[in-house]
Amino acid sequence: SASINHDTITKVQCNTEVFDTDNAYDNSTNFRFTPQTAGKYFIYSKARIDTTASNCEIVVTYIYKNGSLYSYALVDFDANDGEGASVSNYATIDMNGSSDYVELFAFGKTASGSGTLGVEGDGSAHPTLFGAYKLIGV
């Protein structure tokens, strides 16, 4: 597990690999997926972000391609602050197979206007995950 600061977009550092047949994910330095074969890739993510004070207002996950926003998913509690949320985000992205890369970022905002939010890690239910696979025949 890790934490992110209130009101700050932060890279999610998924550091445990389940499998990486092409050695395309850097799980120790850049925490990014860089495929070595050109094509269309299905990128998926889920992040469980929460507070212990039950004052969570907004939770967002972002998929970035080459350092720029490509896709985002949002849970907004509006005036009914929650403890947290699991936010899933998916995208199909064309990758050049040499220098294109994707990364997962997260954001959380609390009603108190300060503090940190937890990003739950590799428990048995995998509350936070990030992955990709190449689409064949498209």
Look-up of token digits 């550091």:
15
Per-residue model confidence as pLDDT tens digits over 68-121:
999 999 999 887 888 888 899 999 999 999 999 999 999 998 888 877 778 887
Q: Is the pLDDT of residue 65 over 80?
A: yes
**Using the 8-state DSSP alphabet, how is residue 33 labeled?**
B
CA–CA distance from 122 to each of 16, 59, 100 (Å)? 7, 19, 26
Burial classification of residue 22, based on how many CB atoms lie within 10 Å of its CB (0-12 exposed, 13-18 middle, 19 or more buried): exposed
Q: What pTM, to 2 d.p., does this model score?
A: 0.90
Report DSSP state, residue 7: T
